[in-house]
Amino acid sequence: MATHQQGRIVETPTEARQAEPGPSVLALLTVSTGLTVLILGVLWFVFFRT
């Protein structure tokens, strides 16, 4: 458990590494995947349509 020493929060290394990825990670993955699909679709349409 985090403790306060001299006005600072002191955590063990294990506690300090336990960050939670917020919804921004999900948004980033969704947007990047969508852009990838869009770009590949445009490239396929330009070069491989018959």
pLDDT tens digits for 14-41?
888 887 767 788 899 999 999 999 999 9
Domain assignment present for residue 37? The answer is yes
Instruction: Name the more confident of 46 and 20.
Output: 46
User: How much is the pLDDT for 47?
Assistant: 93
Is residue 40 assigned to a domain?
Answer: yes
Q: Domain total for the chain?
A: 1
Q: What is the pTM of this model?
A: 0.54
In a domain, 30, yes or no: yes
Rounded mean pLDDT, 4-19: 84
DSSP string, 1-50: --EEETTEEE--HHHHT-----HHHHHHHHHHHHHHHHHHHHHHHHHH--
Please give the residue range of the domain that contains residue 30.
22-50
Would you say residue 33 lies in a domain? yes
Tokens of 15: 């506690």
pLDDT at 50: 67
Q: Is beta strand 3-5 parallel, antiparallel or unpaired with respect to 8-10?
A: antiparallel
Distance from chain centroid for Cα 40? 22
Residue 15 lies in a domain: no
Rounded Cα distance between 31 and 15, Å, is 31
